Structure 1
Amino acid sequence: MSKIRIELERVLAEKGVSKTQLCYACRLQRTQLNNYCKNKVVRVDLHTLAKICDCLECGIEDILKLEADEE
């Protein structure tokens, strides 16, 4: 079964934005952001993803990746 992978940490590094800066700009709790960065989110909040994309000036396709099943 394919799965969706969150690559927020990579995008932050590419854009040169710290987690602290993103938390402040998007009004996110650090724990919430860390869960997105570590791909530990169980229920994705679309409003939060939209805020992150706006702040990082990127598309959702830059953050979410579909990993094909390796069978």
Structure 2
Amino acid sequence: MRDEDFGTIRIKLEEVIQQSSLSKNKVAQLSQTQRGQLNHYCKGDIQRIDLAILSRLCYALDCRVEDVLEYIPPQTKNSI
């Protein structure tokens, strides 16, 4: 089976940052995350989510994990 058969995870960090009153630089500073790494998360350009970084981002943005991540089910249900 392919990963797509199980759906995908969409990272909505860029949207959460835009809705906040914080700049990306401030979010990077508050979350003690490098700006380049923050940009990768904003673009969804990561393979594995670092839970420590995710928790620091949620702390800096005063949000919940489900505000940042969204599960998108597959188009068709597979029988496993």
Structure 1 residue 51: deviation in Å? 0.5
Percentage of identical aligned residues:
37
Partners of 1:9 and 1:58 in 2: CA distance: 13
TM superposition score normalised by structure 2: 0.83
Runs of 4+ in 1 over 6 A off after TM superposition: none
TM-score with structure 1 setting the length: 0.93
Cα pair 2:32 2:56 within 8 Å, conserved:
no
Given that 2:12 and 2:67 are in contact with CA atoms closer than 8 Å, whether structure 1 keeps it comes out as yes
Count of residue pairs the alignment pairs up: 71
- Partner Cα separation in structure 2 for residue 58 and residue 3 of structure 1: 21
1:13 aligns with 2:18: yes
SS in 1 for 2:10: strand
CA distance in 2 between counterparts of 1:45 and 1:69 reads 24
Aligned-CA RMSD value: 0.9
Bigger Rg over Cα: 2
Unaligned runs of 5+ residues in structure 1 are none
